[in-house]
């Protein structure tokens, strides 16, 4: 496998890194604190997307959140990123009681409080599901000075999964046969009417009923709209998972005062390219669009 290399917009001489741990509720996870040598007093906590991601959101040869951390630190912005509690225990995502809230919120709050010991203002930068949950963390932790939502989903997750499967079937029929779509359609209907007793085998991704009940009870747009902090929404124009057509309109309508930026050439990882995006794109070595670093750096108050 091709080894990750620093993006051209990052200067490793401009910052230092050290290991940290977060230990809310006795659930310890490792992380990395990146401190610029010429600090601006601003810092961000990075939140990875849905799934058992490490702190860099490693995807094949790529590390989009490490790209982002190093790019921001080059501009004087401190960064704290951490492995999700499920990163080394993906089986926990199928365990009874598992929820998005319990996976993200305690560690997100702990990360904000730790970073606040080093900077004047702490911001959340969440990608995908991390962007979706960021407003909830900001609601529960008053130290959060602002929120950046990168490709945050607003559609019900079970219906988005069906849409994504249909897209992949149209672009890669050999990878997604019709029977797979039929399974996701049945599971989406089960998630729509989920109860505490619904078997996980009937639900999308084999996740337990607790996860889908938590999803049903959480509205990321309404939660974000109640925040009294600045919000930046970033969206990739070539993203087929979280899309301009299906997810972005709810952010536009619900957050009229937010700054919203669409990067037309970017896929879900915010890697630039051309043509329709596919699953294979994620295995091609590349780097986070430098425009993401610029937009966030310029926006941070």
Assess whether 268 carries a catalytic annotation.
yes
Assess whether 239 carries a catalytic annotation.
yes
Task: Kindly report the backbone phi and psi dihedral angles of residue 137, in degrees, each rounded to the nearest multiple of 5, phi listed first.
Answer: -65, -40
CA 157 from chain center: how many Å?
Answer: 14
CA 249 from chain center: how many Å?
Answer: 18
Assess whether 75 carries a catalytic annotation.
no
Q: Which three-class secondary structure string do you get for 83-96?
A: CCCCCCCHHHHHCC
Of 128, 200, 210, 277, the active-site residue reads: 128
Task: Kindly report the backbone phi and psi dihedral angles of residue 140, in degrees, each rounded to the nearest multiple of 5, phi listed first.
Answer: -95, -15
Of 83, 268, 281, 287, the active-site residue reads: 268
Kindly give the pairing relationship between strand 231-236 and strand 29-36: unpaired
Task: Kindly report the backbone phi and psi dihedral angles of residue 285, in degrees, each rounded to the nearest multiple of 5, phi listed first.
Answer: -60, 135
Which DSSP category does 50 fall into? Answer: S
* Through-space distance between the first and last CA atoms of the chain, rounded to whole angstroms: 39
Catalytic residues, by residue number, are 128, 239, 268
């Amino acid at each position: 496998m091709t080894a990750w290399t620093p993006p051209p917009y990052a200067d490793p001489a401009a910052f230092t890194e050290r290991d940290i741990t977060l230990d809310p509720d006795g659930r310890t996870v490792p992380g990395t604190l990146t401190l610029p040598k010429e600090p601006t007093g601003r810092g961000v906590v990075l939140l990875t997307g849905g799934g058992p991601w490490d702190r860099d959101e490693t995807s094949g040869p790529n590390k989009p959140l490490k790209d982002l951390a190093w790019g921001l630190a080059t501009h004087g912005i401190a960064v704290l990123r951490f492995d999700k509690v499920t990163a080394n225990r993906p089986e926990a995502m199928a365990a009874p009681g598992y929820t998005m809230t319990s996976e993200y919120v305690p560690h997100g709050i702990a990360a904000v409080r730790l970073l606040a010991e080093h900077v004047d203002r702490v911001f959340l930068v969440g990608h995908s599901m991390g962007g979706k949950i960021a407003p909830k963390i900001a609601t529960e932790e008053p130290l959060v000075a602002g929120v950046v939502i990168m490709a945050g989903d607003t559609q019900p997750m079970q219906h988005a999964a069906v849409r994504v499967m249909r897209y992949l079937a149209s672009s890669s029929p050999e990878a997604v046969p019709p029977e797979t779509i039929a399974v996701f359609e049945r599971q989406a209907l089960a998630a729509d009417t989920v109860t505490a007793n619904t078997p996980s085998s009937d639900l999308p991704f084999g996740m337990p009923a607790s996860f889908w009940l938590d999803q049903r009870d959480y509205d990321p747009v309404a939660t974000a709209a109640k925040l009294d902090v600045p919000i930046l929404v970033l969206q990739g124009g070539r993203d087929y998972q979280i899309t301009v057509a299906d997810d972005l309109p709810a952010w536009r309508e619900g957050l009229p005062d937010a700054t919203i930026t669409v990067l037309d050439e970017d896929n879900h990882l915010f890697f630039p390219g051309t043509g329709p995006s596919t699953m294979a794109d994620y295995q091609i070595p590349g780097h986070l669009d430098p425009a993401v670093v610029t937009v966030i750096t310029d926006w941070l108050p």
